[in-house]
Homo-oligomer: A and B are copies of this chain.
Amino acid sequence: MGATKTDHFTERQNQIAKIAKALGHPARIAIIEYLLKVNTCICGDIVNELPLAQPTVSQHLKELKNAGIIKGNIEGTAICYCIDEKVIEILNDYFSKIILTVTNQKCC
C-alpha cells in the first residue's frame, strides 16, 4: 500500500490533513519562516537560504504551492513567493477550536 484512503474521510478532514502534511517537513517550515523574516514577497534567493540543492527546494516550493500555503508571481527571471494567509487562517481557526474544546475537557 502506501496510498492514503482519502475517500473514507470527510472533505474537511482531508483538507486539514493536506495542509498539515505540507507543513510536515523542516525545509518547508524553514521556507515559511524565511518568507516571514523578509516580511515581503521575495523574488529568488530562497535556494541560497536552504541547505538543499536547487531541485529539492523547487520541489518543496511546489508542494507548499499545491497545498495553497504560498503563492508565486512571475517577476521577470525570478518568481516572487509569499504566504497565502487564507490557508494559515484555516489551520489557526481549526487549532483554536481544538484548544477551546480540550481545555474544557474533564480528562485523565
A: residues with CB less than 8 A from B are 4-6, 8-10, 13-14, 16-18, 20-30, 32-33, 36, 39-41, 51-52, 71, 73, 80, 82-83, 85, 88-89, 91-92, 95-96, 98-99, 101-108
Contact = CB atoms under 8 A, between A and B. Distances in A.
Given A8-B51, A13-B33, A16-B23, 9 more contacts: A5-B52, A10-B26, A13-B26, A17-B25, A36-B98, A36-B101, A71-B108, A80-B108, A92-B95
A5 B57 CA distance: 13
Contacts of A101: 36, 39
Contact of A17 (B28, B98, B103): B28
Given A9-B30, A40-B106, A101-B39, A4 B23 contact: no
Count of identical protomers in the assembly: 2
A6 B4 CA distance: 24
Contacts of A102: 36, 83, 85, 88
The 3 closest A-B pairs by CB, nearest first: A21-B24, A9-B26, A20-B23
